[in-house]
Structure 1
Amino acid sequence: MQYDYSKNKDEHPEPIKADLKGLIPEWLQGTLIRNGPGLFSLGETRYNHWFDGMALLHSFTIKKGGSDGSPPLKSAEVVCTVPCRSLLTPSYYHSFGMTDNYFVFIEQPLKLDVLKMATAYLRGVSWASCMKFHPEDSTLIHLIDRKTKKEVGIKFYTGAMAVYHQVNAFEDDGHVVFDGICYDDNSLYEMFYLDKLKEQMGADTVYCKPKCKRFVLPLSDMGETGEDLVKLKYTTASAVKEKEGKVLCQGEVLCDGVELPRINYNFNGKKYRYSYMCCVDISPVATKIVKFDVETKQKIEWTGGDCFASEPVFIPRPDAVDEDDGVVLTCIINAKPVQGGFLLVLDGKSFKEVARACIDVDFHMDMHGYFIPGSS
């Protein structure tokens, strides 16, 4: 079962009526927008890395229990400037953590070469080739106070790792806790060159499985050198005080083989229990999705056989009390060429299928999505 990443996908500007199987909750009304690489050749221009492909949007509009397949920044301001270790090789950033009082930025050793990027077009190479992982460097964790708009004085760091997506962050009893998806290297990035994908995905892929890790940053460094400053009882993550204001952080592995995490965003920046992720324990192409309980470490999985799953998006039920009271939406690509894809609707608690909206269209593999609520 393979997906052709390099194939240009057709655009369908007119809405297409979906074939609904099951019952979509009446309270679920709005539009799910999905985005990801969909065009890899335009005229004589060709792209050789999946991340370099031109974006292709698709959407599902849900109203009155049915589905069709088919905002700018305002008042933005600079909150804080964090100097990088090297002006010519800044760290690659894809996401950051945020709590009520702090921002969390990861300065990882996956770096951009500014000089190579400046000449990439003239040399006829992709931006992907201008990135390099430096395993000899540590990973710096910058904690920024949202009120003072300055970085805190403690210098947090951990071992070399690559991080693309953070799950959530929150404050608890004098600590900032943040969870992220971590890789030991950047082999994932290297795998997505289009000329490598078919060969690698068809064989026994040498794959650096991601780990969902929890890091804990103590807001006070009061203690003896060599002392673990983490006082929370529910985690094995550590933060050991060193000299010169440095603190060495070691993360707790919550689970592994997961990516593209989403949560109930009513709990964004707050202590939470559940996350919804793609299961990538065998390869970076997800064939199932998972609900993960961070307290019990239990997983509930959904799989549909010969299909590929996209990032799951949780939508809370209006006036819900429980964190997992709602539905999960995910786009499913059918690997069978004669069958189209569908929008899958799962119950947030049981993780069982509620409905699916089937569309006779060849979906493209996307990356991220956003749900815009409509009037209920």
Structure 2
Amino acid sequence: MTGADKSNSDKDTTLQYFDLDGSASLGRPIDVPVKGSIPAWVKGSLYRNGSGVYKMGDLTWKHAFDGFAVLHRWTIKDGRVTYLSSVLDSDHYNKCVKVNRLTGYSFGSSFPDPCKNIFSSILQESSLIIGNQILQVSIANYIAVHMGTAHPHQDPDGTMYYFGTNIKYSQAYNFVRIPRNPQAQSPFAGAELIGFIPSRWKLNVAYTHSFGMTKNYFVHIEQPYVISVPKIATMAMRHSSLADCIRCYPEEP
């Protein structure tokens, strides 16, 4: 997955996890300074993915969660460490590159789309906001979940267990089993819903970063830090961000 073609090889090799512009893509691996020594038997690659590009044209994302994804790879071999990065070629990123500006709605930012008028923005709100920012996870093509966990769990046999929320309060928190199938075209092929928990609020769904799992049980904490479904449904009309749709109920357990 290659991103912007602009090479970063002429910049200082001090590694920055956050980069304001699209120069976060390196044309080739660079050497990373090593203090001390690394045993020869230590080898492999570490991959990380996270927000990294925050500026496009004259606009800058406002929140740390808003940046376009940058893929990072550190490779250890023969006592040396090299680093390579690439901006993820997402549809949203490529669209912003085409118009040379930030567009759409993110966690803490909201920028109008120059290709749409106010009416088309309202009509497409569910597919734009929920689709791109919350709903666009590939598992949604197989299971009716809208926002997924950051940390799925895996059994020794390769079976993956996933957690996803649904804006339907009676089936708000969903547990999904995904069997291991290396031959499948999608890693989510064969996904099945194996259980769900209703939300205690009819118009709110608790924000859930992760979940727990034991041999016999799933562990879910419904914290009073919630996403308002009505506010999500009117984001485009109000020109607001996902952060504006979050509520906290400190008086509730």
TM-score, normalised to structure 2's length? 0.47
Considering only CA atoms, is the larger Rg found in Structure 1 or Structure 2?
Answer: 1
Q: Which has the higher strand share?
A: 1
TM-score (norm 1): 0.33
More helix by share: 2
